Chain A
Amino acid sequence: SQTIHQWPATLVQPVGSPLSLECTVEGTSNPNLYWYRQAAGRGLQLLFYSVGIGQISSEVPQNLSASRPQDRQFILSSKKLLLSDSGFYLCAWSVTGANTGELFFGEGSRLTVL
């Protein structure tokens, strides 16, 4: 069966510090991968998605970046965090090439920038 894991689950970072969130999927090949962010009391905002290794599409301009160094690994990064980067970050995957694929979410990473 397929599983998705992301870490760390919780982190508190000072403004201006770097960030790295990691997500891995097991039990499937060549998945579509996604990073969403949810600010407190708000909806899910799509940040990045990837349909293959090294292929990243960015949805909103910001100080975040994403990389996909391996087929089932998706990393969200920042060189310098802003207060507005605080939120609940969710990684998700779906079956590749299918426009009918359900999104499966990881457990989420709660980031607080102070």
Chain B
Amino acid sequence: GQNIDQPTEMTATEGAIVQINCTYQTSGFNGLFWYQQHAGEAPTFLSYNVLDGLEEKGRFSSFLSRSKGYSYLLLKELQMKDSASYLCAPRGYQKVTFGTGTKLQVIP
């Protein structure tokens, strides 16, 4: 089965850096996704980590430690439009399971 844990809500200031953590327990691990979801919209892809380490993509970076069952998403130079839910999603065999998401509020 899958067990995914991430904070429910976070608040950060515009221009700052925020780190959203995710721990997971899963069978048949094949990588981990991070998706962004604005209210009322479908999720959009942010990153995918297969191997341990840090993947950087512009203002967003994602880290994975497979041995620890741990990942984080790092958002730099926060903008107001980054206010959204961020979903941690490990991929197992043939399917992707999502955590409940972290609702990030960026304040001026």
* Residues of chain A at the chain B interface (Cβ within 8 Å): 32, 34, 36, 42-46, 49, 51, 57, 59, 88, 90, 94, 99-100, 102-108, 110
Contact = CB atoms under 8 A, between A and B. Distances in A.
A49 B48 contact: no
B50 A36 contact: no
B100 interface: yes
Interface of B: 30-31, 33, 35, 40-45, 48, 50, 87, 89, 91, 93-101
Given A43-B99, A46-B95, A46-B98, 6 more contacts: A34-B96, A44-B87, A90-B43, A99-B94, A103-B35, A107-B42
B14 to A, nearest CB: 24
B19 to A, nearest CB: 20
Contacts of A43: 87, 98-101
A110 B43 CA distance: 14
Contact of A34 (B30, B41, B42, B95): B95
Contact of A105 (B42, B48, B95): B42
Contact of B43 (A42, A45, A59, A105): A105
A99 B94 CA distance: 6
B30 A100 contact: yes
* Chain B contact residues, majority secondary structure: loop
Contacts of A57: 94-95
A88 B43 CA distance: 12
A103 B35 CA distance: 10
A44 B50 contact: no
Contacts of A100: 30-31, 48, 50, 91
B45 A103 contact: yes
A75 B56 CA distance: 37
A108 B41 contact: yes
